[in-house]
Structure 1
Amino acid sequence: MPYAFSLDDVAFLRSREGARALADCGGLRLTPAGRLADVATVRRTVGERYAAAVLETLLLRSKAEPKVDGGSGWLFTEDALQQASASPVAAHRARGLAGRDVHDVTCSVGADLVALATTARRCVGSDLDAVRLAMAEHNCAVAGVAPALVRADALRPVTRDAVIVADPARRDSAGRRRWRPEDFVPALDDLASVYAGRELVVKCAPGLDPAAAPWAREVEVISLDGRVREAALRSAGQVGVSRRATVLSSGGPGWSITDAEPDEVGSGAAGEWIVDPDGAVVRAGLVRHYAARHGLWQLDPRIAYLTGDTPPPGVRAFRVLDSGHYSEKALRTLLRRHDVGRLEILVRGLDVDPDALRRRLKPKGGGEASVVLTRIGRAPTAFLCRSERVPGRPG
């Protein structure tokens, strides 16, 4: 079970004595094999009373470093860190609300709040959990922002006119994920009802059925570094847009596509390249729009793989070397013909486990390749490809 921080723990961790204890123990490796030795070291350094809080904070900070900018100096709970937006995602959301009055009604430890306070005209953060609110105060100070902080129930409004940002809890007390919107805390319908008539932005899991939020005028699916991270439901969106995909990168600029763009594309035989669109584009139902933007077409109208003779800039695409009907026997022959030993397998539209298939194939050649397995009509098809990174700025 995750450690349950108390307000006393937070007060100690924010004190000079606590900061010194965290610094003194900061060199611990925190590996499972060395856990007993780490616990003994922390107890000798800090004493029994706060040893668990210090050790848990060190562990959570190490987990936070790749996710939260400046997280090495923050305070977290395990659940709060799991649900926190990655900093590039939080910054993207904040840029969309720049210059506005914004109230984060489920601010938790402040991962979104810090980003919002950086761009908003005025910013308020509130939460019912006093421990998380105290952690948010510390984290905002570390980040150099000072939003107003209030202990309040998200379903009892304490501001007027501000844009409402909410991130309902999606795990129960045992850490199990909640899938039904009515089981979120606060429930999705309750948020929509309480803030009817006000602009509302709700962060949620990317797999949520938009039909569960009929009040949302726009659904945005967001990916970061090739991984779909979250969706955002918006009560007020851009005119003519109901679906948006935003693709972010830690190392560069991002881009977006919406259902306001053309989607007139056909399907046909493979061109020189196969393109597997970013997961945000697929989840948002914008594969055809993406194809139209880049002059591509579909291999099959029901499958998300795209093809064409010129791949989009900045993506990883697959140059087609050979193709044929897919069966394990035929694929083995194809791999031997091209002397393939190191193999990547991508699958859409077929019930194939890539890892299990690779183990059964046991390729032994000297070269490497990617195999794209899919269904064209009713025909299972294999494309032997070479993966290449296309130069240029993505979008």
Structure 2
Amino acid sequence: MVMFNAELLTSAKVQDFIKKAFQHKWDALKVSTALAREFSNEERAAIMDYMELVPKFREKFFSEKNGDAFLLCDRLALEQSTAFDIGHWKSALWLNDQPVQGTPVQTVHDLCCGMGGDSFFLPDHLNVIGVDLDENRLAMYRYNAEVMRPKAAQTICADVREVARENSHAQPLNGATPANSETRADFFTLDPARRAIEGENQRDLKNLTPSFEEVLEIAKHYRGGMAKLPPSYPTDEIPGDCEILYLGSRQDCRELLVLFGELAKHPGCVRAAIVGKKGETVAEWCEARDAKRETRDKESQEQFEYNFELEGKDRIYRTASSQSDLPLGDLGKYLSEPAPVLLRSHLFGSTARGFDPDSHLVSEGIAYISSATPLPAPGFATFKVLDHCEIASGAVRAMLKAHDVGKLTLKLRGVKVDPDAEIKRLKPKGKNEAILFYTRAQGEKIAILTTRIKDTLMSS
């Protein structure tokens, strides 16, 4: 295991070396040879490990303005941190009114702060304090705040649960130092740790530190705040006065954000937002929460409870979020895939009906939507149905031949095959390009041949 050495990695000597190596595009052997002349084996390993992360954190956090700067991190801290696009979008969720002269500056506790990703893009007028139990993470946080924030940030090495309790008490708890005007905060942001095993990003939902039950308790000690959860976290555990927000790009859903107190501008609602590369809003949806969508069936509930009894490495959770109030029906003219944020938020059904009242699923529990008219982007990717048949080699080959298909993309839901191996086995030889869906219709396996239609943008 490579030891973390903040003093080494932030030294001018090491950073100048890295700049030179990147400028001249040295390969790993040349880098290692050059480092061996001036550093110990342990230091060389730490520097080379860090060099792998430099292009990754620059891509994740930086605009062109400061794209050659250095941050301090390790692999795990970088993986869990919020990227530029989502971080920039979330900055608008904060109370952005500049403080009136003579009034206190509002302060935010970044709980479980890690390397500081959730503090990087907070509005500049807010004062931020990083809180973590790991001194290495706090060293990262202080260094990175100087790069990313207008002024240096304070840090507190303590359990975030104790810090929260102290935040609303004037008297010390258990002999601890009482909260004071320099360390108390109005708001919080919290990204619970999800790693039970070194090197693994656990997404088993119950394996959060602090647990979600503890997050709810923490929220009571602040005017408001936000907590980041895995997108598949069961929303029936989230109180009704919170706001639930799903964030991602056109291709993914990266965060389930729970807003508390004064930050919950739409309490009792579920929102979903597709965020562009520069942090702009591409599309957004908002509806009142629906208990029917959030109710877990017996199998999901049993799995969730079973997970709680297991060690983190053994936990499993069904992350598919295809519950919908759409009816079932036959395969129609168009087949659509909801954007991941619509899928996770369970808003895809009502959104689809808003554009085509006859939209329906072709099989229960599988979020492919059939409609008579194309459903618009960016909420949906829509395909025109050319043909369909049973999933049998002879029938599928005959269908491909009838439509002169030679270039094929295979999409799967509800059917398990190796896509690359299946395409090789089918040996398409025509001139046309198509998308083939292996899925289910009314529960039975079906192959659906389609072409992607040009995106029709939403009008509202």
* 5+ residue gaps, structure 1: none
Tell me which residue corresponds to 2:170: none
Tell me which residue corresponds to 1:206: 231
Q: Secondary structure at the match of 1:80?
A: helix
**Superposition TM-score, scaled by structure 1 size:** 0.85
Which of 88, 96, 119 is residue 113 of structure 1 equivalent to?
A: 119
Q: Secondary structure at the match of 1:186?
A: coil
1:1-395 alignment to 2 at 5 Å? 1=1, 3-6=2-5, 10-27=6-23, 29=25, 34-44=27-37, 50-69=43-62, 70=66, 72=68, 73-99=70-96, 101-118=107-124, 121-146=126-151, 148-153=153-158, 154-157=160-163, 158=167, 159-160=183-184, 162-181=186-205, 183-196=207-220, 198=222, 199-213=224-238, 217-236=242-261, 237-239=264-266, 241-250=268-277, 253-260=281-288, 266-295=327-356, 297-300=359-362, 302=364, 303-308=366-371, 309-314=373-378, 316-390=381-455, 392=457
How many angstroms apart in 2 are the aligned matches of 1:174 and 1:50? Answer: 21
Query: Does structure 2 retain, via aligned residues, the 8 Å contact 1:67–1:86?
Result: yes
How many angstroms apart in 2 are the aligned matches of 1:241 and 1:352? Answer: 41
Q: 1:177 to 1:264 in 2, by over 3 A?
A: closer
Compute the displacement of 1:203 (Å).
Answer: 1.1
How many angstroms apart in 2 are the aligned matches of 1:310 and 1:177? Answer: 38
Q: Secondary structure at the match of 1:171?
A: coil
Task: Report the more deviating stretch, 258-267 or 338-347.
Answer: 258-267
Q: 1:20 to 1:254 in 2, by over 3 A?
A: same
Query: Does structure 2 retain, via aligned residues, the 8 Å contact 1:224–1:248?
Result: yes
> 1:14-71: per-residue Cα shift (whole Å, max 9, x none)?
33333323323334657xxx53442112233656574333322211112223322256
Task: Report the more deviating stretch, 328-337 or 314-323.
Answer: 314-323
Query: Does structure 2 retain, via aligned residues, the 8 Å contact 1:103–1:163?
Result: yes
* 5+ residue gaps, structure 2: 97-105, 168-182, 291-323
Count of residue pairs the alignment pairs up: 387
Task: Report the more deviating stretch, 56-65 or 40-49.
Answer: 40-49
Q: 1:346 to 1:307 in 2, by over 3 A?
A: same
Compute the displacement of 1:334 (Å).
Answer: 0.6
**Superposition TM-score, scaled by structure 2 size:** 0.74
* Alignment-mate amino acid for residue 361 of structure 2: L
Compute the displacement of 1:337 (Å).
Answer: 0.8
* Alignment-mate amino acid for residue 233 of structure 1: V
Compute the displacement of 1:82 (Å).
Answer: 1.0
Q: 1:98 to 1:357 in 2, by over 3 A?
A: farther
Compute the displacement of 1:312 (Å).
Answer: 0.5
Compute the displacement of 1:305 (Å).
Answer: 1.4
Query: Does structure 2 retain, via aligned residues, the 8 Å contact 1:172–1:178?
Result: yes
How many angstroms apart in 1 are the aligned matches of 2:205 and 2:369? Answer: 33
Compute the displacement of 1:343 (Å).
Answer: 1.0
Q: Secondary structure at the match of 1:365?
A: coil
Q: Secondary structure at the match of 1:307?
A: strand
How many angstroms apart in 1 are the aligned matches of 2:196 and 2:325? Answer: 44
How many angstroms apart in 2 are the aligned matches of 1:169 and 1:191? Answer: 12
Q: Secondary structure at the match of 2:73?
A: coil
Q: 1:24 to 1:378 in 2, by over 3 A?
A: closer
> 1:64-96: per-residue Cα shift (whole Å, max 9, x none)?
233222565222111101111121112222221
Q: 1:88 to 1:353 in 2, by over 3 A?
A: same
% same residue: 25
Q: Secondary structure at the match of 1:67?
A: helix
Q: 1:294 to 1:249 in 2, by over 3 A?
A: farther
Compute the displacement of 1:238 (Å).
Answer: 4.3
> 1:313-344: per-residue Cα shift (whole Å, max 9, x none)?
44542122223444333211111111212111
> 1:230-279: per-residue Cα shift (whole Å, max 9, x none)?
22223343446443322222166322223339998655444443210111
Q: 1:207 to 1:15 in 2, by over 3 A?
A: same
> 1:130-166: per-residue Cα shift (whole Å, max 9, x none)?
2222222222222243263212321222554522111
Query: Does structure 1 retain, via aligned residues, the 8 Å contact 2:243–2:267?
Result: no
Task: Report the more deviating stretch, 87-96 or 158-167.
Answer: 158-167
Q: Secondary structure at the match of 2:395?
A: helix
Compute the displacement of 1:351 (Å).
Answer: 4.1
* Alignment-mate amino acid for residue 243 of structure 1: V
Compute the displacement of 1:196 (Å).
Answer: 2.3
Query: Does structure 2 retain, via aligned residues, the 8 Å contact 1:221–1:228?
Result: yes
Query: Does structure 2 retain, via aligned residues, the 8 Å contact 1:21–1:54?
Result: no
How many angstroms apart in 1 are the aligned matches of 2:233 and 2:404? Answer: 43
How many angstroms apart in 2 are the aligned matches of 1:285 and 1:77? Answer: 35
Query: Does structure 1 retain, via aligned residues, the 8 Å contact 2:393–2:426?
Result: yes
